[in-house]
Amino acid sequence: MRELKLKAMAKVNLGLDVLRKREDGYHELRMIMQSIYLYDRIEIRRSEEKGIRVFTNLYYLPTGPENLVYRGAELLMKEFQIQSGLEIRLEKHIPVAAGLAGGSSDAAAVLLGVNRIFGLGLSKEELMERGVKLGADIPFCIMRGTVLAEGIGEKLTKLPGAPSCQVLLAKPKIHVSTKSVYGALQAEKLPFHPDIDGQIQSIRQGDLYGMAEKMGNVLETVTIQRYPEIQALKDGMEKMGALKAMMSGSGPTVFGLFDDRRTAREAYERLRKGSLAKQVYLTTFFN
C-alpha cells in the first residue's frame, strides 16, 4: 500500500471528574468520552524521499517534531527502522486548542495509517500502548465511540453507543491552556462530582434525557471563573432549547445536546450570527 486517506474524529466529554492529584503530578480522572462527526482529513503517502514531511492547510501549525502528527509517524518508523520516506497532508477542520482532542485524534489516525501502510501488523491495543507515550487522549482517539476513561485517561472501557442526538458546538474567541487549568484545579476541594456511574447507566438504557441531566465537568470550576463567556454560551444554548450544555475538556468549546433537529438548527444559526462564538458547528455523535 502506497497511499491512505483517513478521518480523525473530534471528541467531547459527556462527563469529566477529577478524583485526586497523584504523586507523579498527574490527575486521576474518571470521564466519559464521545467521538463526534467533526473530523480532520489526513492523507499519508510513502515517498522515495527520506524522512517525514508534513503539510497542513493552516499556516500557523508546526510541521516538524512539535506537531503530534509528525511525532506519531516518527515513533513507529524509528521502532521498526523504516527507511522509506513519508508524506503527511493534514487538512484541519477541528478547532485548534479547543478541548476537542484534535491534535490527539490526528496523531491517532497517523499511528493507524503508518501501521497499515507499512504492514506492521500491530493491533489496536498495541497502538494504544504506544500512543499514550505521546498524549493521554490518543488511546481513546484510536478506540473511538463512547468510552469510560480512567487513570490519566489511558484506562479505557468501551460502552454502548450513546443515544443519538444533535450536538451543537461553539468555540469562543479565547485560548485556554490545559496545563494551566489542571495546575489551578484544587481536586480535594471540588464543590461537586458528576454522577459518572449514573450516566453510564443512562447510556446503557438508551436514555438521552437521563444522560444529559447527569452531564458535568469539574474543570469548569477553573475555566469559567477565568472566562465568563463560557458560562454565557452554556446559558445561551440552554435557553435556545439544549437539554444540557457543558464545556468540553479544559475548554473553551461548549457543546449542547438537542433532541430536535429543527431546534438545533435554529440555535446554530443564532450563534453563528451572534458575537459569543468564533466557530460554530452542528453535528452528531459518531459510534
pLDDT in tens, 112-162: 999 999 999 999 999 999 999 999 899 999 999 999 999 988 899 999 999
pLDDT digits (tens, 9 = 90+) for 238-247: 999 999 999 9
Q: Which of 28, 77, 30, 19 is nearest to 52 (CA)?
A: 77
Distance of alpha carbon 284 from alpha carbon 275, whole angstroms:
24
**Mode of pairing for the β-strands spanning 3-21 and 216-217:** parallel
pLDDT digits (tens, 9 = 90+) for 73-123: 999 999 999 999 999 999 999 999 899 999 999 999 999 999 999 999 999
Return the exposure string of 239-276: e unless at least 16 CB atoms fall within 10 Å of the residue's CB, then b. Answer: ebbbbbbbbbbbbbbbbbbbbeeeebeebbeebeeeeb
DSSP character at residue 188: G
Which position has the grid cell 497542513? 56
What pLDDT does 198 receive?
A: 98
* Catalytic-residue membership of 171: no
pLDDT digits (tens, 9 = 90+) for 191-230: 999 999 999 999 999 999 999 999 999 999 999 999 999 9
DSSP character at residue 187: G
What pLDDT does 68 receive?
A: 96
Angle at 56 between CA 51 and CA 62, to 5 degrees: 70
User: Has residue 186 got a pLDDT over 90?
Assistant: no
The active-site residue out of 17, 40, 106, 137 is: 137
Distance of alpha carbon 125 from alpha carbon 156, whole angstroms:
10
What pLDDT does 15 receive?
A: 98
Residues 6+ apart with CB under 8 A from 268: 168, 280, 281, 282
Query: Please, which pLDDT band fits residue 188 given cuts at 50, 70 and 90?
Result: confident
What pLDDT does 153 receive?
A: 85
Alpha-carbon dihedral sign for residues 204, 208, 213, 215 = positive
User: Has residue 1 got a pLDDT over 80?
Assistant: no
Show the cell assigned to 21.
492529584
Residue ranges of the annotated binding site for ATP are 95-105
Query: Please, which pLDDT band fits residue 48 given cuts at 50, 70 and 90?
Result: confident
User: Has residue 252 got a pLDDT over 80?
Assistant: yes
Q: Does residue 194 contact residue 16 with C-beta atoms inside 8 Å?
A: yes
Q: Does residue 102 contact residue 8 with C-beta atoms inside 8 Å?
A: yes
What pLDDT does 71 receive?
A: 97
Angle at 122 between CA 118 and CA 128, to 5 degrees: 120
What pLDDT does 24 receive?
A: 83
**What proportion of the chain, given as a percentage, has pLDDT over 90?**
88
What pLDDT does 111 receive?
A: 98
User: Has residue 25 got a pLDDT over 90?
Assistant: no
Global pTM value: 0.94
Q: Coil, strand or helix: which one is 145?
A: coil
Show the cell assigned to 20.
485526586
What pLDDT does 175 receive?
A: 86
Distance of alpha carbon 195 from alpha carbon 17, whole angstroms:
9
Kindly report the backbone phi and psi dihedral angles of residue 73, in degrees, each rounded to the nearest multiple of 5, phi listed first: -65, -45
Query: Please, which pLDDT band fits residue 22 given cuts at 50, 70 and 90?
Result: confident
Residue ranges of the annotated binding site are 95-105
* Catalytic-residue membership of 24: no
